[in-house]
Amino acid sequence: MNEVSKSSKVKKFYIILGMLLLLLIPIIFLDNIVSDRESYKDLAVRNVAASWADSQTIYAPILILNYPSDKKNPQRPLELRNFNADISVNVEMRKKGIFHVPVYVADVSLKGDFVNPYAPLKRIKADLLFRVSDSKGFISQPQIKFAGKDFVTVYDNEYSRVLTTTDETLPFEIKYKIRGLNNLYVEPEGQNNEINITGNWPDPSFQGDFLPAQREVTNSGFKAEWTVPAIATTSLQNPVLGASFLTPVDNYRMAIRAVKYAFLFLSLTFLSFFIFEITSEKENRIHQLQYLMMGGAMLIFYLLLVSISEFLPFGFAYSFAAAMTIGLIGLYTYFVILKRESKRFPVLICAIMALLYLFLYVLLMLQDLSLIIGSFGLFLIMSLVMYSTRNVKWYN
């Protein structure tokens, strides 16, 4: 090999490195595009919340006794002893433009009792207060049963009654129906709290300060039960528990994670073509503009991934976008770079890219194991690179 040939290959390596650095610019734009689409989806969710209702938090009821004659302590809140909540959730998808937003309707039944240390009571006004985080979500008038009386309909989040009783506990029962979207939480503020939530969503995510003590998740829905004593909430401020009904695979977040691997994919693909150049028996030279065109085709993969995943499941969108990209690079290699002289390297580069895209998909799906899988994968790739260049005489 003469000095000119050696010099040209060294220069080619630095040219490829420069082109990779140049392609960092469109990678940044890709990240911004995906973030903009995610913001557009968030705007659609906010629009649905404006006309439907936002995520809901069901707060524990409060009971206050009013003593107008006691000027120092006219209002005396009672301690909530037992608090039981049974909630049945029906989730459905609402379409806003091209986006689908999970919304729900929940049948809520709250039961429990308050400790009455001021017994006996004689003609004392009691105010029972209850509320949710977004009162716009009420779709029926609440029904309240309090201190032995039958159910009555209320038209506000407060029920007042004059009490005359010797009971040391004051039981209550509240029923209403609300709607919301994405999340449903409950505030466990009693001495003993038992929360049961059932629903038709097949892939709930249990959120808040406590995980359910028992849960059952099937393809047709879920059932979750929480048992929380007061001592477990003493160190928490405004404790909540509940479930989230978001879609299990967020295509935008997955796409943003995929874009973070774009430079690595470009580097490995360009390295494959460079190794082909320096190890080929024939003088197969690839122009730097051809590298740029192939790099551009690989970056379009991410635009295809985002745009297709807005209409189809993420896995199908990923497979379709990867197949289009691999096919384009393979055909370009065979018809343009090699001029139909050989099918071996085009098939090989397609196989390499297919493995790379499969490798990326595994990393995206197994988020908790992505570091260890990625580390071993890169070690294997570097081993193959070293093996492929074993016969290259770098100084000769």
Within-domain flag for 365: yes
In a domain, 47, yes or no: no
The DSSP output letter for 138 is B
**Cα separation, 308 vs 322, whole angstroms:** 12
pLDDT at 60: 94
Q: Is 393 a member of any domain? A: no
Q: What is the pLDDT of residue 4?
A: 47
The per-residue pLDDT for range 233-286, each reduced to its tens digit, is 988 888 999 999 877 667 888 888 888 888 888 888 888 888 887 777 666 678
Structural domain span for residue 266: 3-40+252-388
Residue 63 sits in the same domain as residue 36: no
CB 165 within 8 A of CB 147: yes
User: Considering the domain boundaries, does residue 395 fall inside one?
Assistant: no
pTM for the full predicted model: 0.74
Q: Each residue of 2-11: pLDDT tens digit? A: 554 555 677 8
Cα torsion through 183, 189, 193, 195, rounded to 10: -10
Q: What are phi and psi of 354, to 5 degrees?
A: -60, -40
Mean pLDDT computed over every residue of the chain: 86
Q: How many domains does the chain have?
A: 2
Bridge-based pairing state of the strands 56-58 and 221-229: unpaired
Residue 13 has pLDDT above 90, yes or no: no
* Domain-ending residue, one of 183, 213, 247: 247
Kindly provide the b/e burial profile for residues 20-57, where b requires at least 16 CB atoms within 10 angstroms of the residue's own CB: beebeebbeebbebbeebbeebeebbeebbeebbbbbb
48 located within any domain: no
- For residue 24, being part of any structural domain is answered with yes
* Domain termination site, one of 198, 227, 247: 247
Q: Are residues 65 and 20 both part of a single domain?
A: no
12 is a domain residue: yes
Q: Both 182 and 204 in a single domain?
A: yes
Is the domain of 272 the same as that of 376? yes
Co-location of 319 and 189 in the same domain:
no
Quick one: 172 and 267 in the same domain?
Answer: no
| 73 is a domain residue | yes
The whole-number pLDDT of residue 325 equals 93
205 in the same domain as 99: yes
* % of the chain residues with pLDDT over 90: 37
**Same domain (yes/no): 288, 212:** no
Q: Which of 247, 266, 282 is the last residue of a domain?
A: 247
Q: Give yes or no: residues 352 and 240 share one domain.
A: no
Q: What pLDDT does residue 1 have?
A: 46
Q: Which residue has the higher pLDDT, 62 or 18?
A: 62
Separation in Å, CA 117 to CA 72, 114, 166, 185: 18, 9, 10, 30
Residue-wise pLDDT for 110-121, tens only, equals 999 999 998 888
Lowest mean pLDDT across 153-162, 193-202, 268-277, 279-288: 279-288
150 plus 233 within the same structural domain: yes
